[in-house]
Amino acid sequence: MTGPSAVRREATIMHHVAKLLETLSSLPVNVAVLEPDGTISELNRAWRAFAAATGR
């Protein structure tokens, strides 16, 4: 599908993804988002803090 409705739908999806990632990042526990093949696509703030604290 193309056109204005597809663009709006894509913008809505991206907004929801951004909100989800913001929520995951705010959690005090380590959270990673994995792709189906196991590749890490996102890390939350707790993981990033752990990596910085341990020099990784």
State pLDDT tens for residues 4-48.
898 999 999 999 999 998 999 999 999 999 999 999 999 999 999
Tell me which amino acid residue 33 is. V
Helix (H) or strand (E) run with residue 33 in it: strand 32-34
- Give the residue from 49, 13, 15 showing the smallest Cα distance to 31: 49
DSSP state of 1: -
The pair of structure tokens assigned to 52 is 């910085």
Q: Give residue limits of the domains in the chain.
A: 4-54
Give the Cβ contact number of residue 11 at 10 Å: 10
What pLDDT score does 1 carry? 64
Its pTM stands at 0.66
